[in-house]
Amino acid sequence: MFIGFCQGSAHAQHQADSLSSGQEMKLVEDVMDWVTIDKEKYTLSFYPLLDYSERAGLDVGIMPVIVLKDQKERKRETKYSRPTTIIPSFAYSTKGQMMLDTDVIYYHTNGWLLGARILWYQIPDTFYGIGGPNVAPTEFLTNTFGATGVWLNPLTDVFFLGLSYDVSWVDNSRFEGESLDESIRGFEGGFTTGLGLDARFDTRDDILYPSRGQLFTFDYRYYFGDFNFHHLELDLASFWKIGSAKNVIGAQAYYEFVLGDDVPFYKLPQLGGKHHFRAIGHPNRYIDNQIYYVQAEYRRHIYGRFGAAAFGGWGNTHAEWENPFVKNGKWMYGAGLRFQLLPDDHLNFRLDVGKTAGEEMAIFFTMREAF
pLDDT of residue 185: 96
| Cα–Cα nearest to 218, from 204, 239, 206, 236 | 236
Q: Mark whether 30 and 41 lie in a shared domain.
A: no
Q: Mark whether 273 and 347 lie in a shared domain.
A: yes
pLDDT of residue 96: 84
pLDDT of residue 35: 66
Q: Mark whether 1 and 79 lie in a shared domain.
A: no
Q: Mark whether 51 and 24 lie in a shared domain.
A: no
pLDDT of residue 21: 52
CA atoms within 13 A on the CB side of 357: 8
| Cα–Cα nearest to 234, from 154, 163, 292 | 292
Q: Mark whether 27 and 171 lie in a shared domain.
A: no
Q: Mark whether 2 and 77 lie in a shared domain.
A: no
Residues 6+ apart with CB under 8 A from 109: 70, 71, 73, 74
Q: Mark whether 181 and 136 lie in a shared domain.
A: yes
Neighbours of 358 (CB within 10 A): 6
Q: Mark whether 142 and 245 lie in a shared domain.
A: yes
| Cα–Cα nearest to 105, from 68, 146, 158, 144 | 68
Domain containing 351: what range?
A: 36-367
Looking at the structure of the chain, the number of domains it has is 2
- Cα–Cα distance, 158 to 269 (Å, whole number): 28
pLDDT of residue 77: 57
- Cα–Cα distance, 321 to 276 (Å, whole number): 21
Q: Mark whether 27 and 44 lie in a shared domain.
A: no
pLDDT of residue 71: 55
* Beta pairing class for 213-225 and 138-154: unpaired
End-to-end CA distance of the chain: 56
Positive or negative CA dihedral for 305, 306, 310, 314? positive
pLDDT of residue 241: 94
| Cα–Cα nearest to 206, from 63, 83, 68, 349 | 83
Q: Mark whether 123 and 239 lie in a shared domain.
A: yes
Positive or negative CA dihedral for 261, 263, 265, 267? negative
Q: Mark whether 214 and 151 lie in a shared domain.
A: yes
Supply the DSSP string of 82-131, one letter for each residue. Answer: --EEEEEEEEEETTS-EEEEEEEEEE-TTS-EEEEEEEEEEEEEEE--SS
pLDDT of residue 202: 96
- Cα–Cα distance, 341 to 112 (Å, whole number): 25
The CATH number linked to 122 is 2.40.160.50
Q: Mark whether 11 and 41 lie in a shared domain.
A: no
Predicted TM-score (pTM) of the model is 0.84
pLDDT lower than 70: segments of the chain: 1-35, 70-78, 322-324
Write out the H or E segment, with its range, that includes residue 29: helix 2-34
pLDDT of residue 276: 87
pLDDT of residue 6: 42
pLDDT of residue 17: 47
| Cα–Cα nearest to 364, from 48, 91, 53, 61 | 53
| Cα–Cα nearest to 250, from 194, 199, 208 | 208
